[in-house]
Amino acid sequence: MSKAKVIFHVDMNSFYASVEMAYNPSLKGKPIAIAGNPEQRKGIVVTSSYEARAEGVKTTMPLWEAKKLCPSLIVIRPNFERYREVSAKIFRILTEMTDLVEPISIDEGFMDVTDTQHHPVDIAHELQRTLLERLDIPCSIGIGPNKFLAKTASDMKKPLGITILRKRNIEEKLWPLPVEEMYGVGAKTAEKLRKMNITTIGELAQTDSYTLAQLLGVNGERLIQRANGHDNRVIDPDSVHDFKSIGNSETLPEDVTDVTEVKNVLSRLSEKVADRLERRKLAGKSVQLMIRFNDRTTITRSRKLESFISALEDILLVAFDLLEEHWDGTSIRLLGVTMSDLLEKDEVLEQLSLFTYEQALKKSKRDETLDKLKEKYGKETFPNLVQEEHTAPKKLLSTSFQKDFLDDFKTK
């Protein structure tokens, strides 16, 4: 009989803010936010301390709104090099306890401690103490028999929580929660589920798999399995290298020339890519379309964008454009959509705050003024002001934690 798995999900608490407080202890206990352009009160909140969150400050909130909610808010520009350096030290500490460590972002990862000699709760307490003593970084740890339950458990108590979620506890602890709080259920999926009167994780767990498959495809069966506490994914220390690109392809059962059918396939593929980007908290800057024709000839065509995207609508817009540009109506046997040039969304937010938020603010003020003038003098009074000049962001960062981090900490 195989030994029951013991999986940790280790999640740093308010990571960027915690790093800044460790670097400058005078910030401890104060409401702080990590955001761009603090001198001009512009930018977007990337993350904030728990003291700031208590005042209503939230991630992605415009900085002016955060300052309005919390006048004493201390705003700090992000220092991603510093965060990467601390992250590497964190994961080296995790690997001192087990080789089976799987980083999934700059501030969270899974550990398999099944074969570790000590009690899991003792290991968790020791890990928290070590991170605090060596790096002054707090974390929450979820303990479960698989990745899903461990991840769910780590979200149940923050900061500095240690939570165990066993399969026998899911009816009591997991099922009463709203369905949108389930890991792997995004806003769009939650909306679809609510239209089926599925409002809690328990209702999802008891839904007929065939019915849900009609709505969500293979992801429907996966969500039902997770809601019932089942997750067979193993801890893979090398999986961090797998995210240079994210793509999906589909071989069609027969040759297709109908444009509507082709676009339906592209829609399905783009949705899968968007879901995977969301789960990994990534965005991409290049979209690639692959077409294999009925004579086995294959072409790949890509477009590099000026800004990062992750939403289904944005991916699909580029994929459709590439299709129109490069497909002449020849019978298609396979289609694929891939996102590359990936970056963590936290870093994308920083770039947005530094380079595009000011333009967005100017546009908002201009539109407000223009609306007032049109209301007073008539809609046709200012015909030359309807076109918006788009300013491209400056060159963005081209590397991500997924690409460069693991090699750094393994070689040190």
Long-range contacts of 267-271 (CB under 8 A, 24+ apart): 267/316, 268/217, 269/319, 269/335, 269/336, 269/337, 270/312, 270/315, 270/316, 270/319, 270/337, 271/312
Contact between residue 49 and residue 31 where contact means Cβ atoms under 8 Å apart? yes
Look at phi and psi of residue 341 and say left if phi exceeds 0, alpha if psi is from -120 to 50, else beta.
left
First-last CA distance in the chain: 38
Amino acid at 11: D
Collapsed DSSP state (helix, strand, coil) of residue 295: coil
Catalytic residue numbers, as ranges: 108
Contact between residue 309 and residue 268 where contact means Cβ atoms under 8 Å apart? no
**Residues with Cβ < 8 Å from 256, sequence gap 6 or more?**
262, 265, 331, 332, 333
Q: Where are the alpha helices (DSSP H) in 136-175?
A: 147-154, 170-173
